[in-house]
Structure 1
Amino acid sequence: MKKRSPVFNFLVIILELAVLAGCAYLLIQNILIFKTETITESNQRTLALFFVLLVGINLATRLVKWWYRQRGYSRRRGVKNFVFGVENIRKLLLVALGIFTFFSLLGVEFSSLFTSLSIVAAAIAIISKEFVNDLIVGMYYSFSDTFEAGDYVKFHGYKGRVVDIGLLKVKIMNDNDDLVILPNGKVYSEEIINYTRRDVRLMSIDFEMDIKLVRQIDALEKELINAVSEYAEHIEPRSYNLKIREVKKDLLELKFQYRLIQEASEVRQKIKRSTVRAVFSYVTTHQQQPEA
């Protein structure tokens, strides 16, 4: 979500309060702005009530967020998700308000409208199960701490950093800076790996190597450490570790790990990118020149 300046937010609140006070005054005093046949008294009252509820929903949303921060909950994990959840509820309320206002302006009675919309909603739920499923899952993730905006995750075969949790979609930015948009239902139906929930300073690089080229694991580990030696000042000296994940017929699946001395997102990405290139350059070179 784009962060706005405090001055802009203050001006918006002042404008909303002015609209709220003006529309409430018109409703209480039963004042008509337009006295024409096309815009009836009922329509004017409906529009005034629409703006009162619209501003009321927006102000209530801001109040809940402010209360959440004042209570100190913003320091807990999941605060970003809570903000997404509040925003998602606000969107649902505004959509419902817009629909009821539109039909009210057409002269449809509230009781008939509610019954009709209930039937339509039930029909949509039966026909569009995936839509309803995505909606429910979106609300669930909005208030859970399974993952939150900024977490580095893997789901449905995609790795990236979560940038948005919407009502129907989850957006992640992968390592190539591509925006991947996934339906909430697909995210929920498969396993989720949240790399951020572990030690954020721990870095891992997975690769495969021809089993014939690996004479000694310790020797390979030393050579990989030498390959990233130019970044030694950013890495804990005793944190290097080369693990064998799986032994296959012709290949070894390996994981090279190390821990950063200090977490810094820009430095972290730079070291990871350079380290990946150094490690795979080493692996490629040795695979092209196998020992006799």
Structure 2
Amino acid sequence: MQQEHSRKVKIPFVFILKIIGVIISLSVVFMFPRTSDNEVIYQALKGINSFLIPSIVLSVIRVLIISVYNARHANRDVRGNFVLGINRLTAIINTILFVIAAMVTFGINPIDFLTSLTFVAMAIAVLFRDYITNLLSGLFIMFSEQLSVGDRIKVGEHQGRIIDVTFANILLQNEEDDIVMVPNNQVFTHPMVNLSAHRSNLFTVKFELPLNLAIDIKTLEQAVQDTIRNHPNLDTENIPNLMVEEIGKDFVRYKIELYAVSSSNKLHRALENEVLREILIFEHDRTKSSAP
């Protein structure tokens, strides 16, 4: 039932609205001849059509490319950057089409306008050089097989899991769950390590305990290690130790790094729940034994 629900096709409301808009605008153009009285309306409809029609064609091409790509890689383990890159590139082209349509609406010839702004465009390119570089770097990352959303990477002094790639930044979620925005061009100008290439099975369990229970950490560590030892879904060659992350006024925050047998997020969550369940039992038993 869940698989059938996940396979339901999403209704492309925006695409449908574009088609309806084209039908209405073309109908008005053909039904009412162009005259001096309706020149403004005619020009506005011309601008609308110059955006909607190419945008519809672009949407169809985008769907076809993604469909062919998914069909060719249906039985292969691929990184999901291609679809992300196609979606971002489509957004850029749609923005350009919208600007051209706005020019057409106001009776401006886009070619003449761009020609007259050649030197201004060069100055803008110099002023926004860093942003343009980040944009191009972002496109290279999206269409590459080196990085993908979900990878754990280290770029310069920043390390974390990629949660998104935009035209300006790579969004990393670090070990403290902070979101770090790393400019795209740093991937090409700084040393970059893809930790997921060898450590994709690594995941971290974080928790905190009241300060009065933290003194019995050896007992907790032994209980967690007993849970991990000989676990069928964990790599138990090296039994990890609890690491103290932070000591607060009335709490201690810990973390433990574990290696699962696969990189499945579902498996990681299940294993994390097992470890946290053991910690809850420990906390309950210690709280109960210390009660008067």
TM-score by length of 2: 0.66
Most deviating of 181-190 and 140-149: 181-190
Matched, 1:88 2:85: no
CA 1:226–1:190 in structure 2 vs 1: closer, same or farther (change >3 Å)?
A: farther
Taking the TM superposition and a 5 Å limit, the aligned residue runs for 1:166-185 are: 166-185=166-185
Residue type at the aligned position of 2:73: G
Most deviating of 130-139 and 10-19: 10-19
Residue type at the aligned position of 2:228: Y
CA RMSD of aligned residues (A): 3.8
Give distance in 2, aligned partners of 1:187 and 1:135. 12
Q: Tell me how far 1:191 sits from its aligned partner.
A: 1.6
Matched, 1:240 2:242: no
Residue ranges of structure 1 left out of the alignment (5+ in a row): 206-223, 243-255, 279-292
Question: 1:191 corresponds to which residue?
Answer: 191
CA displacement 1:142-177 (0-9 Å, x = unmatched):
110111011122223222221211112211222333
Does the residue aligned with 1:177 lie in a helix, a strand or coil?
coil
Give distance in 2, aligned partners of 1:258 and 1:139. 34
CA displacement 1:68-92 (0-9 Å, x = unmatched):
11223683423x2111211121122
TM-score by length of 1: 0.66
Q: Tell me how far 1:199 sits from its aligned partner.
A: 5.1
CA 1:97–1:266 in structure 2 vs 1: closer, same or farther (change >3 Å)?
A: same
Give the conservation status (yes or no) of the 8 Å contact 2:164–2:170. Answer: yes
CA 1:120–1:73 in structure 2 vs 1: closer, same or farther (change >3 Å)?
A: farther
Give distance in 2, aligned partners of 1:8 and 1:198. 36
Q: Tell me how far 1:94 sits from its aligned partner.
A: 1.4
Question: 1:69 corresponds to which residue?
Answer: 70
Give the conservation status (yes or no) of the 8 Å contact 2:202–2:263. Answer: no
CA 1:257–1:110 in structure 2 vs 1: closer, same or farther (change >3 Å)?
A: closer
Question: 1:114 corresponds to which residue?
Answer: 114
CA 1:103–1:19 in structure 2 vs 1: closer, same or farther (change >3 Å)?
A: closer
CA 1:109–1:181 in structure 2 vs 1: closer, same or farther (change >3 Å)?
A: same
Residue type at the aligned position of 2:58: I
Question: 1:60 corresponds to which residue?
Answer: 61
Residue ranges of structure 2 left out of the alignment (5+ in a row): 1-5, 206-220, 241-255, 280-292
Matched, 1:44 2:45: yes
Give distance in 2, aligned partners of 1:225 and 1:34. 87
Most deviating of 15-24 and 170-179: 15-24
CA 1:203–1:47 in structure 2 vs 1: closer, same or farther (change >3 Å)?
A: closer
Give distance in 1, aligned partners of 2:177 and 2:82. 26
CA displacement 1:184-226 (0-9 Å, x = unmatched):
1223321222121125335799xxxxxxxxxxxxxxxxxx998
Among candidates 227, 230, 233, match of residue 230 of structure 1: 227
Give the conservation status (yes or no) of the 8 Å contact 2:46–2:105. Answer: no
